[in-house]
Structure 1
Amino acid sequence: MTSKDASQPVQKPGKNKTQARSAARLYAVQALFQMEQSDQSFDKVIVEFEDHRFGAVYDEDEYAEGDPKLFRKLVREAVNHQAKIDQMTDRALVAKWPIARIDPTLRALFRASGAELLESDTPVKVVINEFVDIARAFFPEGKEPSFVNGVLDHMAREARPEAF
């Protein structure tokens, strides 16, 4: 973000891209959650997020710009590969807690991260760190971030055994 006002810092392009990708991951989790709760199609939710969340300002709160390409890919691939991702997640969870019983926010997070693990070349460590950070945003006081880290490590070993 460049600025004509010299008092404003100029952000580095790499930082903007990283922030946009992080925002896209967060928005993908939110979109998948919304889809599950409302039975909306991914096309409708994608348009809604891109039109009303990416860079929007509401009550002086500004939403981050997201990377639309990554956002669309994560949402679509999470839906297209949901059965496979849910099976990977189930195998990472204890038998008494199948994916259907876990918090819907975590379910959306595992689906978005599973899509990125299966359908991208993003390094495994980056995927896990990014989605653990998202878990921290949703559950700042809980044990969920550690839980997410363990489940994603298991999922990553299954999705990309060559990375280990």
Structure 2
Amino acid sequence: MSRGGPKRSRARAAARLAAVQALYQHEMESTAQAKLLDEFHQHRLGREIEDEQYEQADVDFFDDLVIGTLARREEIDGLLSERLAQGWSLPRLDKTMLQILRVGAYELLARPDIPVGTAISEYVDVAHAFFEDREAKFVNGVLDAVSKAVR
């Protein structure tokens, strides 16, 4: 377990899921970064939405994931594109799937403090929130290939 134990672990898991949601919103609506972060800080992280209580997220970690992924998007997209199967391209991917891969790749690239296995399994868990096993295995495979290239 990471230093800080299960509570920190859950807060980081919540931050990862929120980062995927924020980046999806950015992709679909071109929401400016500052507005996006503010909206998530004010209304989403650790709040109750439509009677559903959201886990309290690690806000600093969330900010790093969103800001870092947006800042290094070109580099990340290059890493991901090189690791997709023949005939596949980033525009062909489901928009949510693309954000999961981008944030996961960012974490592998820029957060050496987080073990590879932890990062990959966390994004496989995020994928399970949206997709079936086949897609979760796809996330595992692509992020594993990214980790071999960047770590």
TM-score of the pair, normalised by structure 2: 0.93
What is the CA distance between 1:94 and its match in structure 2? 1.3
Corresponding residue for residue 116 of structure 2: 124
1:36 aligns to 2:24 (yes or no)? no
In the alignment, structure 1 segments of 5+ residues that lack a partner are 1-12
What is the CA distance between 1:95 and its match in structure 2? 2.7
1:41-52 aligned within 5 A: 41-52=32-43
Q: Secondary structure, in 3 states, of the residue corresponding to 1:96?
A: coil
What is the CA distance between 1:142 and its match in structure 2? 4.7
Identity of paired residues, percent? Answer: 38
Cα distance in 2 for residues equivalent to 1:15 and 1:28? 20
Name which of 123, 127, 142 aligns with 1:135.
127
For the aligned residues, what is the CA RMSD? 1.1
Divergent runs of 4+, >2 A: none
1:10-159 aligned within 5 A: 14-121=5-112, 122-139=114-131, 141-159=132-150
Code of the residue aligned with 2:115 in structure 1: it is: P
The number of residues matched between the two structures is 147
In the alignment, structure 2 segments of 5+ residues that lack a partner are none
Larger mean CA deviation between 40-49 and 65-74 belongs to 40-49
What is the CA distance between 1:133 and its match in structure 2? 0.4
Cα distance in 1 for residues equivalent to 2:115 and 2:94? 26
Code of the residue aligned with 2:9 in structure 1: it is: T
Q: Which of 1 and 2 has greater Rg?
A: 1
